[in-house]
Amino acid sequence: MRLVLASRNQHKLREIVAILDGLDVELLSVSEFPNVPEVVEDGSSFEENAAKKAREVAAATGLPALADDTGLEVDALDGAPGVRSARYAGEPPDYGRNNEKLVRELSGVGADGRTARFRCVVALSTPEGRVSTVEGTTVGRILDSPRGDQGFGYDPLFLPDGFERTYAEMSPREKNACSHRGKAVRAARGLVEELLR
């Protein structure tokens, strides 16, 4: 079976491919389909955005599509940046500016008030538009300065509960073992395996 990964984000693609390793499917990037337009992520939730991306890419390619929508929810910011995580500091998306804004917004907030969670919703759609979703969450806190040079996005600022290293200080394998995306994509393996039956 061929499965399209509905993302052009190379960091995400590497993580998803690594987590799906060993699954008996041919994984294709949506970038291999130049006529598929960029999907506008205008949903009010991670689930809406993931489902929309998966459904539109599956319809456009005629193949099952797997999409995710992921974001960081910070309690002291009433759940922000949330669904706006990639564009928190504005357009175009910029990891450095997003991190700088997050640190600025949390200045003066003590360690106990910096609780946060990463959420990832993965959606699998058939070309006919049948969509299933799963979710993964990792709880942690936001540091007041970045640590580490692995990963991407908010990884240098996010310290998962029970760990002494940020996502950006972990190897890809370590991060995938505990991350929100790792949990969601591992759950999505079951959805893909159902399609294979």
Residues serving a catalytic function are: 69
108 token code pair: 């003066």
DSSP one-letter string for 158-191: EEETT-SS-GGGS-HHHHHHHSHHHHHHHHHHHH
Residue type, 125: S
**Contact call for residues 194 and 173 (beta carbons, < 8 A):** no
- Give the residue among 45, 117, 48 at the shortest CA–CA distance from 77: 117
Question: Cβ-count burial of 42 within 10 angstroms (0-12 exposed, 13-18 middle, 19+ buried)?
Answer: exposed
**Contact call for residues 119 and 70 (beta carbons, < 8 A):** yes
